[in-house]
Amino acid sequence: MLSTNFTEKLIGLQGLIVKNIEEIENVTKIFAEINLKEQYCPCCGAITNKIHDYRKQIIKDIPAFGKGIVIELRKRRYRCECGKRFAEENTFLPRYYRMTNRLPAYVIDKLADVCSFSSVAREVNLSVSTVIRIFDIIGYSPNSLPKVISIDEFKGNTNREKYQCIITDPVNHQVIDILPSRLKHHLVSYFKKFDRSDTTHFISDMWSTYADISANFFKDATYVIDKYHYIRQVIWAFEAIRKDVQKNFSKSHRIYFKRSKSLLTRHYSSLSSEEQTQVMVMLSVDANLSNAYFLKDDFFKILKCNNSEDAKKLLSFWIRDAQNSGIKRFFDCAKTMINWSKAILNSFDCHYTNGFTEGCNNKIKVLKRNAYGYRNFNRFRNRILHIFNSKNLDKKLEVA
């Protein structure tokens, strides 16, 4: 009797008495019944203890110890004096269900990771369509916009659109929403639905559509270009010069330059004396490469500024030097800096970045790769929001 009680506690289903357990391959089958007690008639409300008959029902439960669990429940049907026949009540099996009420909760909890529907289906011994049907009962819907908005796109290839758009709150590290595309009309129709007066900062990359959205819908907010996106413009310009120069080298010399590119892209002051000597030797082979390197290094010095006023002075000097360098790549880079100068300088007064958003994009890529892609955008959107917000109690969870 003691072992039976322990087994019942281990199963964790209230009022269930375990009669026997069998091991069938990778499935544990539990034979059980509910405690005998008086029942209330659902028709007239009278109390009865008269059993009409017994029926067996196969129920799936959450896996345990690496095996699937199946419960063969011996259900009683009672009869009342009014002529009503009804099944006994239980707390773990909803009506018409063939699985315990904790199994769907277990599936939804498992889907908060980047695993695929198929892997969860195999674990819980359900079909993929059933797992998807369980997941589709949830949906996330934001009620308001945060004070700081970060926006970016990622390659989702869903709903016949190559890019989807992600909106996040970088302060509280929350994903606010996923939009079906990054096209302007989608963004306009989305932001029109919200009160935007409380938003103080709008952070994005260097794409004109985001700038237009910020100018038209977030007029009171500070528009900020993420530092990563304008720094890489300078890195790309320098890397293009390095690749052009090393094309003229011999194979061994070209391989040496390629393997040493990390030295060339780092800040000169962060290198050891030996590495600085190595860099100066590499720069001595070409004047354009040397000029491009020091332009890149001078730009890194701007990033040490603590406010936009100091950065504005150094940036203007850098733009002048880049325009007078005679290097087309840096001339184009200087033109980009001029066009986006206001939003770039705002980044020196604002410590918020797109770092959290870029991290979310990497996790979304893992999700998409594990699932071999998504065709249904709404399911893809809900899955992303569930992964990032399932443990956030402040997020409104709508259950259909």
Q: Comparing C-alpha atoms, which of 142, 197, 190 is closest to residue 392?
A: 142
pLDDT of 9 reads: 60
Determine which helix (DSSP H) or strand (DSSP E) holds 56, and give its type and residue range: strand 51-64
Segments in the chain below pLDDT 50 = 1-2, 393-400
Buried b (16+ CB within 10 A) or exposed e, 13-44: beebbbeeeeeeeeebebebbbeeeebebeee
| Order of strands across the sheet that contains 148-158 | 174-179, 161-169, 148-158, 201-204, 222-225
CA 23 – CA 56 distance, rounded (Å): 19
Could you tell me if 48 and 38 are in contact, meaning their C-beta atoms sit under 8 angstroms apart?
yes
Domain ranges of the chain: 2-93, 139-226+353-399, 227-346
C-alpha–C-alpha distance, residues 14 and 106, integer Å: 17
292 by Cβ neighbours in 10 Å (0-12 / 13-18 / 19+) ranks as buried
pLDDT at residue 201, rounded to an integer:
95
Query: Residue 169 and residue 199: Cα distance in Å, rounded?
Result: 11
Tens-digit pLDDT profile for residues 20-39: 888 888 888 889 888 888 88
139-226+353-399: what fold?
A: Nucleotidyltransferase; domain 5 (3.30.420)
pTM strictly above 0.85: no
Strand-pair partners of 140: 397
* Per-residue pLDDT at 1: 40
- DSSP labels for 121-139? HHHHT--HHHHHHHHTTEE
With CA atoms as reference, report the closest residue to 174 among 200, 154, 150, 193. 150
pLDDT tens per residue, range 308-367: 999 999 999 999 999 999 999 999 999 999 999 999 999 999 889 999 999 999 999 999
pLDDT for 7 equals 56
pLDDT score of 22 = 87
Query: Closest Cα partner for 62 from 19, 25, 95, 30?
Result: 30
Q: What are phi and psi of 248, to 5 degrees?
A: -85, 0
Alpha-helical segments (H) within the chain? 2-11, 102-110, 117-124, 128-135, 184-191, 208-217, 227-246, 251-259, 261-265, 273-283, 287-302, 308-323, 328-339, 341-346, 355-370, 377-389
R_g of the chain, CA atoms, integer Å:
31
pLDDT of residue 271: 87
